[in-house]
C-alpha cells in the first residue's frame, strides 16, 4: 500500500520523538555522572543522606535506568550490559540465599552486599564512553581529588612541620559535616610514630598518576600525588604510586626522572626513619605470626574450611574480627574466598580472565599500563578494607572502562550510542 503524506508525516514525528527521548536520556546520564563523582569524592563511603535517601544511590539508579532506556531505544545491549547483569544473580545467591542458609546476620549481609551494586555503574559508563569518551570525567575526578588531597597536605604540614595539630580537628569536622560520619577518614598519630592524614580518595592516586601523565610527564601533579600518598600513611598506595611514576619515566625516557626519584627516596626515608623513627619498609611485623593480618588469615581459612564449596556468604565473619563491622577484613581477597567458596572464586576469576582477554584484544599498546594498574588495584584493596564500598567498586569500573570499553581518554568510538544519533551536547 502506498504511503500517504499523513503516514509519512506521522513517521517523521515518531522519529523526531525517538531522537528527543534519546537525547534527554543521554543528557541525564552525562550530567548526573558529574554529580556522582563529586558526591563520591567529597562525601566519604556512606555519602550524603536526604530525607533518609542516599543521594549517591539515587544518582546511580537514575543513571542506570536512563542508560537502560537509551540502550532500549538504540537496540544496543553490549559488553557493559552483559558484565553488569552477571552481578545480579551472584548477589542474590551469595548476598541473600547463602547467608540465609548459614544464619548470617541479615543487616551484615546487606551491608556487605549492597556496595556490589555500584558495579552497575559500568552501564552508564559504557554509554558515555561510546558517545564522547571518558576523558572529561577523569579530568573532573582529578580536580575533585586534587582539592581533597590539597586539604590533606595542608593539614599534615601544619600538624607535623609547624606542630599545630588542631587544624586536623577542623578537617575532621568538615568531613563529618559532608558525610555525616568519620568512615573513610583517619587523622592522627600512628603506632609507628608517624602522623597520618588519610581521606579514602587516596586509592585513586595510582590511576590518576597514569591519567595526568598520559601524554608527557607532569612533574607538578606527579610530585603532588606522591606527596599526598605519603601523607595518607597507606604504604600500599605509596608503593604503587612510585611504581607508576617510574613506569612513566621509562615510557617517556625522562633524562632527569630517575635521579629525581633517587633524591626523593633518600629525603623521604631520611625524614621518616631518622626524624620520626618510622620504619617505612618494615613489613615483617604485618606478616609475623601473632600479627593482626596473620590472625585474620588463619581465622578466615578456618571459616572457608567449614564451607569450602559455596562459602559462608557475604556478611559472614570468622572468629577473629578487626572492627565493629564484623564482616570487614584487611585481607579482602582471603575473606572473599572464604565467603564465596570455590564455586564463587572460579566464577570471579573467569570474569577477570574475560576482562583481561578483552583488554588485550582492544589495547595491545596499553598492556603494561593495565597490568600495573590491575596489580596495584589488587595489592591496595587486598591489604586494606577498601574494596567493599563505593570507592573500591567505582575504581574497578573505571579500570574496566580504561581497558575494555574502548576508553581512549578524549574520544568515543563510532558504534553503540554514536549510531543512535542522540545528538551532541
Q: Which cell numbers hold the place of 193? A: 610514630
Contact 311, 339 (CB under 8 A): yes
Per-residue model confidence (pLDDT) at position 250? 80
Domain residue extents for the chain? 99-116+286-408, 136-275
Runs of H (alpha helix) within 219-362 = 219-232, 235-252, 257-269, 284-287, 292-306, 332-362
| Phi, psi for 316 (deg, rounded to 5) | -75, 160
Lowest-pLDDT range of 129-138, 240-249, 268-277, 347-356? 268-277
CA angle, 352 as apex, 75 and 128 as ends, to 5°?
Answer: 35
185, 225, 243: which is closest to 377 by C-alpha?
A: 243
CA 339 remoteness from chain centre:
21
Contact 235, 198 (CB under 8 A): no
Mean pLDDT of 47-69: 87
Instruction: In whole angstroms, give the CA distance from residue 140 to residue 147.
Output: 11
Per-residue model confidence (pLDDT) at position 288? 52
Mean pLDDT of 245-257: 76
- How do residues 295-337 score in pLDDT, each as one tens digit? 888 888 999 999 999 999 998 988 888 777 778 888 889 999 9
Per-residue model confidence (pLDDT) at position 379? 87
Percentage above 90 pLDDT, the chain: 18
Per-residue model confidence (pLDDT) at position 415? 35
> Would the pTM of this model clear 0.85, i.e. be above it?
no
The residues that bridge with 225 in the sheet, in sequence order, are none
Q: Which residue has the higher pLDDT, 402 or 348?
A: 348
Per-residue model confidence (pLDDT) at position 191? 67
Amino acid at each position: 500500500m502506498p504511503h500517504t503524506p499523513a503516514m509519512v508525516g506521522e513517521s517523521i514525528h515518531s522519529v523526531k520523538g525517538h531522537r528527543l527521548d534519546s537525547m534527554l536520556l543521554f543528557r541525564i546520564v552525562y550530567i548526573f555522572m558529574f554529580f556522582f563523582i563529586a558526591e563520591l569524592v567529597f562525601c566519604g563511603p556512606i555519602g550524603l543522606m536526604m530525607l533518609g535517601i542516599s543521594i549517591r544511590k539515587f544518582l546511580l539508579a537514575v543513571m542506570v535506568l536512563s542508560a537502560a532506556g537509551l540502550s532500549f531505544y538504540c537496540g544496543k545491549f553490549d559488553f557493559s550490559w552483559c558484565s553488569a547483569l552477571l552481578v545480579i544473580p551472584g548477589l542474590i545467591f551469595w548476598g541473600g540465599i547463602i547467608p540465609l542458609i548459614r544464619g548470617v546476620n541479615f543487616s551484615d549481609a546487606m551491608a556487605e552486599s549492597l556496595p556490589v551494586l555500584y558495579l552497575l555503574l559500568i552501564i552508564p559508563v559504557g554509554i558515555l564512553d561510546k558517545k564522547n569518551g571518558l576523558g572529561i570525567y577523569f579530568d573532573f575526578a582529578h580536580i575533585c581529588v586534587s582539592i581533597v588531597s590539597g586539604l590533606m597536605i595542608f593539614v599534615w604540614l601544619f600538624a607535623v612541620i609547624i606542630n599545630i595539630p588542631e587544624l586536623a580537628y577542623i578537617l575532621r569536622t568538615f568531613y563529618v559535616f559532608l558525610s555525616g560520619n568519620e568512615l573513610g577518614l583517619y587523622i592522627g598519630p600512628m603506632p609507628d610514630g608517624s602522623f597520618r592524614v588519610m581521606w579514602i580518595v587516596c586509592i585513586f592516586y595510582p590511576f590518576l598518576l597514569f591519567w595526568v601523565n598520559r601524554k608527557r610527564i607532569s612533574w607538578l601533579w606527579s610530585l603532588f600525588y606522591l606527596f599526598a600518598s605519603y601523607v595518607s600513611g597507606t604504604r600500599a598506595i605509596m608503593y604503587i604510586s612510585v611504581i607508576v611514576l617510574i613506569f612513566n619515566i621509562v615510557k617517556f625516557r625522562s633524562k632527569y626522572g630517575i635521579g629525581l626519584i633517587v633524591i626523593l627516596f633518600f629525603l623521604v626515608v631520611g625524614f621518616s626513619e631518622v626524624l620520626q623513627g618510622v620504619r617505612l619498609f618494615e613489613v615483617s611485623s604485618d606478616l609475623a605470626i601473632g600479627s593482626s593480618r596473620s590472625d585474620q588469615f588463619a581465622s578466615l581459612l578456618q571459616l572457608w574450611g567449614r564451607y569450602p564449596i559455596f562459602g559462608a556468604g557475604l556478611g559472614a565473619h570468622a572468629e577473629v574480627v578487626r572492627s565493629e563491622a564484623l564482616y570487614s577484613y584487611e585481607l579482602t581477597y582471603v575473606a572473599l574466598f572464604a565467603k564465596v567458596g570455590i564455586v564463587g572464586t572460579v566464577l570471579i576469576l573467569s570474569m577477570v580472565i574475560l576482562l583481561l582477554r578483552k583488554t588485550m584484544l582492544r589495547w595491545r599498546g596499553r598492556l603494561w599500563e593495565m597490568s600495573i594498574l590491575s596489580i596495584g588495584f589488587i595489592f591496595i584493596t587486598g591489604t586494606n578494607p577498601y574494596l567493599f564500598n563505593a570507592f573500591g567498586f567505582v575504581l574497578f569500573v573505571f579500570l574496566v572502562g580504561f581497558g575494555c570499553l574502548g576508553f581512549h581518554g578524549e574520544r568515543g568510538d563510532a558504534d553503540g550510542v554514536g549510531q543512535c544519533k542522540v545528538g551532541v551536547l
